[in-house]
Amino acid sequence: MPEGDTIFRAAAALHRALAGQVVTGFDTGFAQLARVHDDAPLTGRTVEGCAPAGKHLLIRFSGDLILRTHMRMSGSWHLYRPGEAWQRPGRDMRVRIDTNDWVAVAFTVPVAEFLRARDLARSRALASLGPDLLSPRFDRDEALGRLAAAGTRPIAEVLLDQRVVAGIGNVFKNEILFLSGIHPDRPASTLSDEECGRMLDTAVPLMRSNTGPGSGAEIVTYRGLRRTTRRARPEENLWVYGRAGKPCRRCGHLIQSARRGLDARATYWCPRCQR
């Protein structure tokens, strides 16, 4: 699943490219979207802006229409110049928005729907989101409250629960726990307020530092190159994620890994730094 920073970057790149532009063409593989487009065409509307909401990406059009997409594991948004060859096959296209200057394409996005502003306020998917770590209005007290109410589930699982805090994916889950010195298996209910606060205060700057403009504006998806160590070399960019059996960058102990939980996301930790 893309991390919140990926969605944030995608939204920022789409916003830079599309905001203020008039839609000149629209195509989709989703019946619900096609139906709305038939009744009230997207063509001719102006893109008002693109913004992330947790792991959802919202594109607002004039005339009170909002496109919500969720990437889940497989989806991605790309930006191309008109006529430019796509990096994915056309059969993977789910949503395509044309303007004079750009073609924005969502590939294999599993969730997409059109909403009105009033639906957005009621949308269950969005209403249940916890405080968004990447939002400038991040509500730390609310996040602490939700962590305190998360019960006995392991903290590694709780950090991925978007109803507790929104934006953390599997890479950041592991890195945040390492940097906070917290063992991934600890039941959330055993964490002190101080530990929860430390985790959030680690997570916010870490995730925000990964949301700067990408190197290429054309491809708005963003894989790899996520950095939590402040080291320049790409192979040293993470503390524990993906490093099973390698020495801890702090203490030299071997990094452990395990797959736990219903969706079997890999967890990595240093047994000495995270007791």
Nearer Cβ to Zn ion (108/256): 256
Question: Which lies closer to Zn ion via its Cβ, residue 207 or residue 240?
Answer: 240
Q: Which stretch binds Zn ion (CB under 5 A): 138-146, 192-200, 233-241, 264-272?
A: 264-272
Cα 274 from Cα 34, distance rounded (Å): 50
- Nearest CA to 18 out of 58, 46, 52 is that of 46
Q: Is residue 194 annotated as a catalytic residue, yes or no?
A: no
Q: How far is the CB of 252 from Zn ion (least distance, A)?
A: 7
Per-residue HEC secondary structure of 3-17 comes to CHHHHHHHHHHHHHH
| Nearest CA among 206, 264, 204, 271 for reference residue 240 | 271
Rounded to whole angstroms, how far apart are CA atoms 142 and 133?
A: 11
Instruction: Give least dist CB 189 to Zn ion, A.
Output: 25
Say how far apart CA 226 and CA 238 lie, in whole Å: 8
Stretch in the footprint of Zn ion (CB under 5 A) among 142-150, 195-203, 227-235, 262-270: 262-270
User: Contact with Zn ion (CB under 5 A): which of 250, 257, 260, 265?
Assistant: 250
Which residues are 61's β-sheet partners? 47, 65
* Residue 238 touching Zn ion (CB under 5 A): no
Residue nearer to Zn ion on the CB measure, 35 or 275: 275
The residue among 188 and 273 lying less far from Zn ion, judged by its C-beta, is 273
Catalytic residue among 2, 52, 131, 184: 2
Choices 111-119, 169-177, 222-230, 245-253 (CB under 5 A): range interacting with Zn ion: 245-253
Residue with tokens 């969005």: 126
Q: How far is the CB of 182 from Zn ion (least distance, A)?
A: 13
User: For this structure, is 55 an active site residue?
Assistant: yes
Q: Which of 34, 127, 149, 251 is the binder for Zn ion (CB under 5 A)? A: 251
**Of 122 and 272, which has the nearer Cβ to Zn ion?**
272
156: tokens are 């590694």
Pick the stretch among 59-67, 119-127, 229-237, 242-250 that binds Zn ion (CB under 5 A).
242-250
Binding to Zn ion by residue 255, rule CB under 5 A?
Answer: no
Residues in contact with Zn ion, counted by CB under 5 A, come to a total of 7
CB atoms within 10 A of CB 264: 9
In the block, which residue shows the tokens 């944030």?
Answer: 8
Question: What is the DSSP secondary-structure string of 69-112?
Answer: EE-TTT-EEEEE-TTPPPSS-GGGEEEEEE-SS-EEEEES-SEE
272 binds Zn ion (CB under 5 A): yes
Q: Between 140-148 and 193-208, two packed helices, what is the crossing angle to 10 degrees?
A: 130
Which of 48, 52, 55, 184 is catalytic? The answer is: 55
Binding site for Zn ion (CB under 5 A): 248, 250-251, 253, 270, 272-273
Catalytic positions, written as ranges: 2-3, 55
